[in-house]
Amino acid sequence: MSLHVPERDWYKAPAGAEKLWIGVALLWCFVMSLMMPYWHFRGKQNADSETYAVEPAAFMERTERFVADNRVGEIDGVPVVEPPPGGEAYLLARMWSWYPILKLRQGETYRIHMSSTDLQHGFSLQPLNINYQVIPGYDHVITMTAATAGEFIIVCNEFCGIGHDRMIGKIIVE
Amino acid sequence: MSLLSRYNASLSDPAAKSRTCATTGLNVCLGAERFIKLNAVSAIVFLLLGGIAAILLALTRWQAIHLLPVDWFYRIVTFHGLNMLIFWILFFEVAILYFAATIPINSRLFSTKVAWVSFAMMLVGAVMVNVIILRGQADVMMTSYLPLLAHPVFYLGIILVAVGTLIGVFNFFATLYIARRDNTYEGSLPLVTFGAAAAAIIAVVTLLHGAIVMLPTFSFSMGWTAEPDPMWYRMIWWGLGHMSQQVNVAAMVAVWYLIAYLATGAKPINETVCRAAFVLYVLFINLASAHHLLVDPGVGPAWKMWNTSYAMYLAVLASMIHAFTVPASVEMAMRGKGHRRGIFGWILALPWRNPAFSAAALSLLIFGFVGGITGVTLGTVQINIIAHNTLRIPGHFHATVVGGTTLAFMGLAYYVIPLLFRRDFIARGLARIQPWLFGGGILLVSIGMSFAGSMGVARRTWDIEPAGIYGPAAHLFLGVMGIGAIIAVAALLLFVVLCVGTVLFGVRNNGRAMADWGAAQTAPGAKETSLLHDHWGMKGTMALTSVFLLCFAVYYFANWKALADVWPVR
Ligand code: HEM
Ligand SMILES: [Cu+2]
Ligand SMILES: [Cu+2]
């Protein structure tokens, strides 16, 4: 009858299986909406979006200072920087590189500041598949524990121009 | 039908021109008919353009083929996104609105002048956008995230399309108004019209967001005003981008109800429930833009959780209600026709050879089982950490807006094109397999993208080799996507050829009834009865929805498990 004017007495409370399904579906929606606060307090992976306003030039300067203070080496011309365990680290995204290479200690937790000096970029840590958005003007702080050792690749997964696919960075965990 | 023939005497305006459809007996306003045709045909042209782009993209992302050069890849991603998601869908939806506001309630279109203005603005805008993209001056993706900047013509074109659509929506509401004023129908709006009205209300809110975000961006691109904040841009843009998906869902569900009725005679078991579910869409979708910002800076966790769950899960509830009421109404109609063997006996007797019906049924299955489940899961604040901007995202929405909405719209076209152009559909055998090919192909596309994405493959990326980390499994799934794309695009081309062929070469019906696609038959020896008062009779639907809920829960919690396995992050 969906094409026609309904009969006059169409207003009826749901009944039978239909009513049961609405109840079950509503319950499931509740479960799903409670999972998020539950995980916020009990889970280990969250997106808290700790954010500060930052001018691109200021972020660049902080990153350079961080690199100068903590530099431990160089790979292919990119400095390798080891932040103090539990400390702050800076990761600058720009067309088309991640700067610098971070060297972390397994099991330690770091506060990684991410921002961009040009377009938006996407922080995508592989092969873990951890993804956060990086936006110019916003200092996005991710608190991250390097739980496993190895070499991890940062892929850019927000389109940022013609070199987007070659915007590859690195995090080394020892 | 008898109810309607009573009103068939004349349209509300004595001067208005109309005809009586030789097949359905419905009164067709000729003004509305012209604009349904114009908008539907333009929609199909944009679908064709988007389809050509689709195969180029898929064959580039399939690394073994890697077809396009880098600049053309990004240009074509932009082109594909806009032609499909915006132009094909919006033009077709305007056609649906004009249909729903006139023919089912025996009204004339409010104004053909307004319809012309709307159509011309949309068309000019769409052409502007396409030209500027193909000239390489708008390689910014359809989202055009600031500070990426396109040529001003790009934004102007989008503004024209949005405003043109708004004008069309205005014409829809004005038509409903004059129909009510002139008493062209008694009682409440038919369900299809009601669903279309829900879609139209959301469309207004959506398109206003579009105007709010595009006007300052256009002004910035002209150098008149300062750059809008990129985070503000994301939030408002997704007010346009996400909410418009709810327009698509509402329109698609309205089409499901319509086709279920036309092909099987299904009547909603409870009109109140169906209508309330549409109202839930209108009420609870407003902040769903949140679930595109789940791993963004600048928006806090409480904001994200509130706006995904309050706004989304009641809209999810609405979709879950439709997922029950549509098959239940079909099942009860079939059982009423005497197909009562076991739980699933009625399914075998469905008119599977009717392409409109198979398109709607596949649309419901793909939308529900793949698009819906993945969408709610990926839209969970924390789970988004392992999905954001990977190919899992296009994997999800090719199951909603392609396998769901696009396929449902194709199904509708199988009825609407012959009826409005008054020509028999050509190559009916090919038409009968088209929905299966398209649905099957897009399912492979969606699965391939989703799995490649869970292996970390990013969306919108020309080449994954520079990262040097993707193994054979990721490449295999990109291949699955590529093969699915070949099938889906072939089916899309077939659809376009059949529609255009019918419009040009179909046999005119000259007053006789149109050849039917085949509707559900009454079982031999059975007498048709109404089972609308049997509230527990839909055993098959109960079984199907139970399986659905099980799949949903398994997928949902499997993703929490996958999330728990990555590094602790906050
Ligand atoms: C006919 C078969 C189709 C195929 C094979 C196909 C394939 C693709 C591919 C390969 C991409 C690029 C994924 C990436 O690299 O990020 C894509 C993106 C997209 N597709 Fe489709 N598609 C099809 C139909 C459609 C339809 C009908 C719609 C909408 C109604 C649609 C909407 C989109 C959107 C919105 C994007 C994202 C563009 C962007 O990232 O900016 N597609 N599609
Ligand atoms: Cu980038
Ligand atoms: Cu990028």
ipTM of this complex: 0.94
**Nearest ligand 1 atom, CA B51:** 1
- Same domain (yes/no): B191, B297: no
B11 pLDDT band (50/70/90 cuts)?
very low
For B170, list phi and psi in degrees, rounded to 5: -60, -45
CB B403 within 8 A of CB B371: yes
A69-76: average pLDDT? 92
Query: Is B553 or B106 the better-scoring residue by pLDDT?
Result: B553
Of B492, B508, B524, the one marking the end of a domain is: B508
Locate B175 and state its tokens: 């038509």
Give the DSSP H or E segment for A109: strand A109-116
Encode B433-471: b = buried (16+ Cβ within 10 Å), e = exposed: ebbbbbbbbbbbbbbbbbbbbbbbbbbbbbebeebebbe
Query: Which single residue is written with the structure tokens 């500041």?
Result: A113
Nearest-angstrom CA–CA distance, B439 and B435:
6
**Domain presence at residue A146:** yes
CB A96 within 8 A of CB A120: no
CB < 8 Å to B386, chain A: 129-131
**Domain presence at residue B527:** no
CB atoms within 10 A of CB A57: 9
Q: What is the pLDDT of residue B304?
A: 83
Q: What is the pLDDT of residue B511?
A: 78
SS3 assignment, position A127: coil
Flag whether pLDDT at B2 surpasses 70.
Answer: no
Flag whether pLDDT at B177 surpasses 60.
Answer: yes
CB < 8 Å to A143, chain B: 569-570
CATH number, domain containing residue B70: 1.20.210.10
Please name the residue of chain A whose CA is at the shortest distance from the CA of residue B143: A159
- pLDDT tens column, B382-438: 999 999 999 999 999 999 999 999 999 999 999 989 888 989 999 899 999 999 999
CATH number, domain containing residue A152: 2.60.40.420
B321-343: average pLDDT? 91
Q: What is the pLDDT of residue B531?
A: 81
Supply angle C-alpha B92, B94, B100, rounded to 5.
Answer: 105
Locate B55 and state its tokens: 């195969």
User: Ligand 1: does its nearest atom lie under 6 Å from the Cβ of B85?
Assistant: yes
- pLDDT tens column, B118-165: 999 999 999 999 999 999 988 999 998 988 899 999 999 999 999 999
**Domain presence at residue B1:** no
Q: How many domains, in total, are found in chain A? A: 1
Give the DSSP H or E segment for A144: strand A138-145
- Same domain (yes/no): B416, B278: no
Structural domain span for residue A98: 48-173
Q: By the CB < 8 Å criterion, does A76 face chain B? A: no
**Domain presence at residue B459:** yes
**Domain presence at residue B564:** no
For B248, list phi and psi in degrees, rounded to 5: -60, -40
Supply angle C-alpha B129, B135, B137, rounded to 5.
Answer: 75
Phi-psi group of B298: left, alpha or beta (phi > 0 → left; psi -120 to 50 → alpha; rest → beta):
left
CB < 8 Å to B176, chain A: none
B286 pLDDT band (50/70/90 cuts)?
low
Q: Closest partner residue to B462 among A7, A12, A165, by Cβ? A: A165
Chains A, B: CB contacts within 8 A come to 305
Q: Which residue owns the Cα nearest ligand 1 atom 11?
A: B57
Q: Which residue owns the Cα nearest ligand 1 atom 28?
A: B84
Query: Is A134 or A18 the better-scoring residue by pLDDT?
Result: A134
- pLDDT tens column, A140-160: 999 999 999 999 999 999 999
Nearest-angstrom CA–CA distance, A137 and B207:
28
B473-490: average pLDDT? 96
CB A174 within 8 A of CB A152: no
Environment of ion ligand 3 (residues, CB < 5 A): A 156, 160, 164, 167
- Put simply, the answer to whether B309 touches A36 (Cβ < 8 Å) is yes
Structural domain span for residue B360: 352-508
Q: How many domains, in total, are found in chain B? A: 3
Please name the residue of chain A whose CA is at the shortest distance from the CA of residue B102: A3
Listed range (B106-115, B310-319, B469-478, B550-559) with the worst mean pLDDT: B310-319
CB atoms within 10 A of CB A51: 18
Least Cα distance to B434 among B475, B488, B385 occurs for B488
Flag whether pLDDT at B250 surpasses 50.
Answer: yes
Nearest-angstrom CA–CA distance, B345 and B163:
49
- Put simply, the answer to whether A165 touches B390 (Cβ < 8 Å) is no
CB A22 within 8 A of CB A14: yes
pTM of the complete model? 0.93
Nearest-angstrom CA–CA distance, A41 and B311:
22
Least Cα distance to B406 among B131, B48, B110, B3 occurs for B48
**Domain presence at residue A108:** yes
